[in-house]
Amino acid sequence: MAANSNPTVRRRRLGAELRRLRLDSGLKSTAVAKRLMVSQPKISHLENGNRAISPRDVRDLCALYGVTDQQVIDTLMQMARESGQQGWWHVYGDVPQSVYIALETDAASLHTYEPMVIPALLQTPAYAHAVIEETIPQLTAEQAATRLKVRLRRQHRIYNPASPLRLWVVLDESVLRRVVGSPDIMREQLEHLNALGAEPHITVQIVPYTAGAHPGLTGQFSILKFADTPGAVVYLERFTSDLYLEKHSDVGHYSVLHDHLQAQALDTAGTRDFITEVTKTYIDAAASRP
CA distance 111 to 119: 11
Q: Is the domain 7-82 a CATH 1.10.260.40 member?
A: yes
- pLDDT for the residue numbered 1: 33
* Residues in the chain, overall count: 290
- pLDDT for the residue numbered 161: 80
Give the CA distances from residue 79 to residues 72, 224, 229, in Å, rounded to whole numbers and listed in that order.
Answer: 11, 21, 14
CA distance 13 to 80: 10
- Spans of all domains in the chain: 7-82, 91-287
Sequence-distant (≥ 6) Cβ neighbours of residue 225 within 8 angstroms: 107, 108, 109, 110, 111, 232
pLDDT in tens, 130-149: 999 998 888 899 999 999 99
Which residue(s) pair with 235 in the sheet?
222, 244
Pick left, alpha or beta for residue 97 (phi over 0 → left; psi -120 to 50 → alpha; otherwise beta). left
Sequence-distant (≥ 6) Cβ neighbours of residue 239 within 8 angstroms: none
* Domain boundaries 91-287, corresponding CATH code: 3.30.870
Which residues of the chain are modeled with pLDDT < 50?
1-5
Segments of the chain assigned E as strands: 109-114, 166-172, 202-207, 221-226, 229-236, 243-245
CA distance 167 to 225: 11
CA distance 148 to 129: 6
CA distance 136 to 144: 9
CA distance 171 to 112: 9
DSSP assignment letter at 119: -
Q: Residue 53: which H helix or E strand, with range?
A: none
- pLDDT for the residue numbered 5: 43
CB atoms closer than 10 angstroms to residue 44:
15
- pLDDT for the residue numbered 285: 86
- pLDDT for the residue numbered 197: 96
- Angle 21-26-30 (CA atoms, 0-180°, nearest 5)? 90
Q: What is the pTM of this model?
A: 0.78
Pick the closest to residue 123 from 208, 198, 188 (CA basis): 188
Residue type, 89: W
- pLDDT for the residue numbered 249: 93
Give the CA distances from residue 86 to residues 40, 81, 89, 150, 224, in Å, rounded to whole numbers and listed in that order.
Answer: 27, 11, 8, 15, 21
**3-state percent helix, strand, coil for the chain, nearest multiple of 5:** 60, 10, 30
pLDDT in tens, 271-286: 999 999 999 999 998 7
DSSP assignment letter at 26: T
